[in-house]
Structures are given as C-alpha cells and as structure tokens.
Structure 1
Amino acid sequence: MQLNQSHRFAVAPMMDWTDRHCRVFHRLMTRRARLYTEMLTTGAILHGDRRRLLGFDASEHPVALQLGGSDPRDLAAAAKIGEDFGYDEINLNVGCPSDRVKDGRFGVCLMAEPALVASCVEAMKHAVRIPVTVKCRIGIDDQDPEVALDALARGVIAAGADALVVHARKAWLNGLSPKENRDIPPLDYDRVYRLKAALPEVPISINGGIKSVAEARTHLDHVDGVMLGRAAYQEPWRLLGVDPELFGEAAPHATMKDVFTAMMPYIESELAQGTRLHSITRHFVGAFHGVPGARAFRRHLAENGVKPGAGVNVLRDAMALVEDRVEASIAA
C-alpha cells in the first residue's frame, strides 16, 4: 500500500517551529522526509514581504508550502506565488484550531464547509502545476466523523486534490484551547484507515500522536504515509532513523554531532546575513537523548546563544559538552 513514496514520511507543519532554519536542520537527518512550512495566510503572502516569508534554502527539497485561507481566488494567487518560489507542493490547512484561524474563517473550521474547501482546491489546481494537497481533521465539535471526513475527502478529491493528510482526532472549537485540541480529543486511527480502504487510489497520510519512527512504520500497513509532528521537533534525533527504517537507505549523517558539523556552513552564512544565532539553535534543544552531557548542551545554548554577536563557537562549545559516542539509537 505504497501509492506515493514521496508522501511516505513527512514532518508536520508546526506554527512557530518549522521555519526555514528548522527545515535545513531536519533535512540533514533525512533525505527522504517531505518537509512543510509553517502555515502562511494568503493575506500575508499577497501583501507581505514575500522573500522573508517564502524564501528557503535549496537543500530543503522536497518542501511544501502550507497555506491558510478560504477565498479561492486568494488561495490560487498565493499558490502560484509559492510555485514560482520553487515549492514542490501546496498544502491547504483545514486542521489548525487556533482562535485566529477560527476568526479568519480558515483552518479547521472549514471542516464545516466541504464545498468551499473543494472550490479552494479546484482554484489552486487551475493555478499551479505542482501537487495540491489538503491537511484536515476527522471532524469538529458534534460532527459525525464518518460523515464529515468522507464529505470533505470526496469533495477535495473530486476537485483535484493529489493527496490527503488526516490528523486522526476531532477539534473542539467550543470549549478547548488550541493546545488542548492537540491532546484531549481522542485519537481515532481506525477512522483514517477506513477512509483509505474506501479510497484505495488516493494517497492518504496519517498524523496525530505518533511518537516514533517505529510507530510510524506500523501505520504504513494501513495508509500510504505518516506525518510526524511534535516528536520530530522535540526529539529530532528520531529523524536519523527515517531513511534506514522506512526507505532502506543510510541516513545522511550517522550521529547528531555529524549533523551539527554539516550545519556549520549554513549557520555561518546566516550569521553573516544578520541572523541571530538563537534563531537557529533554538531548534536544537532536543537533539541529544539519554546521553551524558545533554543537559549541559542545552544549558550552554540557552545561556550563550542569545548573547549579542554569538557565533558558531557557541554551538561548538556546546557540542563538546556531550559525550563523544553514538548519541542515540536511531532505531528507537
């Protein structure tokens, strides 16, 4: 059940986390994972600083641009801009439960308007040649997930969507905070499995509560792809196992120290352009797992990475505090 190897594994789009520095870091651990931007609204792209918002490093490919919006014309225009910037995929966010998203009539509240979502997908498909995909939940509030997910999925597929990513839990727009919506509504992986069984020709990926590459592999018995979110960010060393475990290929680098050594030229280039070191190293705090010196590594980065003029020597000194051996089992 591997219709689309390009979506076999992905790192989820995460607000305030999966910026361009984070994606370069993740790419050094896996050649195969599909990476996603943070959600960007159509308004920001159409009226904001596009180079700042959309610029990315060539090493990030394959990388997808996630859009937030509900106006088909604006989404089509933003998708075309994203394609022109070189993104490999446009993804429509129909899953984010934040208050700002709800007030703006986009994100997960669009689960209530499957016909509008289909119109958005159709408009984007007409505007670009790259794949257009949708990331959604199984439903919202009192919706029946059997009905709500089926309606959304069939509508966007009929409109031309190339793949679906389903976060396997509801979002409760009334009564739960965005943070609570990431944990409290129960996971229902079987609902996503049933969707895949009903739409065997459609690439469908599963997301939500998946904690390891080994766990991801079990889902691949039922769906085409797995998207890892917080586990990939908070414990990035896990990504060293993606290529060996899911694709039968060696990881780009054997250890996290090797990853950081490979990251040095990028960091030096960014610092020369005025980027603050902490903007990059903030993504590194979970890099070492169960290794003597991991706490000292984190502390050194936290205390010194924020100082004016901090340079790559801060990272080198932090690395020296970690015991020099294979830092973590990549098969975990």
Structure 2
Amino acid sequence: MYFTFLGTGAGVPAKLRNTASMVLTMPEYQGDAWMFDCGEATQHQILHTSVKLSKIKKIFITHLHGDHIYGLPGVLGSRSFQGGDDQLTVFGPKGIKDFIEMSLSISSTYLKYPLEIIEIDEDGVIYEDKYFKVSAKELEHGITCYGYRIEEKDQPGTLLVDRLKAEGIMPGPIYREFKEKAAVTLPNGRTLNSSDYIGPDKKGRKIAVLGDTRICQAAVDLAEGVDVLIHESTFSHGMEEKAYDYFHSTSSQAAQTAKAANAAALILTHISSRFQEDDHLLLEEAREIFSPVYLAKDFWTYKID
C-alpha cells in the first residue's frame, strides 16, 4: 500500500503546495483507495496522479476548515460522472453531513452511487472489517478535529506448498483444509497439524494520520508504534508560541510526538506557504529529534512495506 499526497499546504493554495488531501491506495485489496481530507482543487490534483476516483471507497475528514473540505463536493460529483457506482462512505466530525447534503442539493448534483455519511461524536473505533480497524481520537485544534489510526489486521501466513509436497500431498481441495482447520486427516488415516505447514502470520501495518493539532497526548496515543505517522508541520522550531495560539504544531513538535510514540517513520505535511523557498529547514529541525523523517510534497508517493 502507498500514500499519494495530493495537497501538502496549509490554509490556502500556494504555487508549490495545494490544500490538504492524500490518498492511501491498496493494490493488495483490489486496488481500493481511502482519501484523507479533501481541500479545494483536489480533483484537479488527482489528474496528475494514478489515483482513480472510482476506486476511492472511503473518505476520512479530520475537521471542517475549508482547506480540508472545500474540494469534497467536486470529488463526490466527479466520482459519479466518471462511472463510480459502488458505495462510498465519508467519515467526519458533526456537520459534515449538512455540508455535503446542502452542497449537492444546491448544485443539483445527482450521485449514481450510494453515499453513506458517518458523523463521529466520540473517540473510539469508527470502522472495522475483516482486514482493517480504524480508530479516531479528538486532537487539540480551534474546532473539533480528529486524528485517525489505521490498523491492518494480522493475516494468516502462506501455505508451505513445498513442505506439503515433500509429504506426498499434491495440490487439491485438501490444501484448503490446511488453511481452515487446526488439523487435517489424510486418506491414509495420518493426522497432521496445520500449523506445521503454514508460515508465520503476516503482521499488519499501522498508520496514523493526524489533522491540524497542537502537540498533545492524543496525538501520541494515535501514533503509538505505527509504521508511519503523518503529522502537520505548519510552523518551524522557535515558533512554538504562535503554533499554540493558532492550534498548530512546529516541525520539532511533530518529531517529539513521533519519538514519544515510538513510530517507525514520520512524514511532515500541511506546510505553511511562508516556507515555500526554505521548507528543507523544517526537515532538518525534525531530524535533530527523530529519524527517519520525510517532507511531503504534492504528487509524492510513500510506500508502506
């Protein structure tokens, strides 16, 4: 699976960075994609990438500031125009339902697919299926704002075909029994433990995507032990007071959160336009505290092995 960053700026669009949006594409799950935030012109940004609107099955909105939602009506409409016909689910804070329904109603936009809107009103698990669990936790921002923790569940290991063949067991329906049963009895009456013929479980990956936030314990909780933490970096080191006043974080604070959470990697995004020419300073500041750190740019992709 991999992230495609569609917008990595803060507040308003800039020449080098559009407003906030990113997509998690999962080739190992039929190519399904999940979008996180949808700032103005997100659908235009998608045109420069391999992201397909019809493959987006879920959209997670962190909060209702314009730079995180103004592109949403356009994306929803274009997904319909481009042939998307299966259900799309939007998660977000209270108010996201009114925003979407009013925008679509006033613009007479008809969707050809079922749209489910789930408003989050408390911390906890907001989605779970056979493969994933997604949790939300409120962060510290000027309005209600959530961070998301995506946990891929551990998957059964691979069937050790060579070992089965060495036992004289050739491919066939019996292979499925080794995947589904604790023990398998062969036609000759011999019983084998399935675990001896299945590799170790594949450990699920863990990701934290935070909305706008001050440095806070909730951010650390969401990022605990993740493979990658995606964290805003609106301000630079030395601007902590301004960051606090505006409910944002500095590059150093993002790194402190990653370190406290024992994250495996940190990606900085939501970069203020004041750093258009020297955004590398944010990266250097964060690297003094934590490593590895990456600085997201529009259209950049990051693979999670």
TM bin, normalised by shorter chain, reads 0.3 to 0.5
Q: Which structure has the greater CA radius of gyration?
A: 2
Greater strand fraction, Structure 1 or Structure 2? 2
The answer to which structure has the higher helix fraction is 1
TM-score (norm: length of structure 1): 0.33
TM-score by length of structure 2 reads 0.35
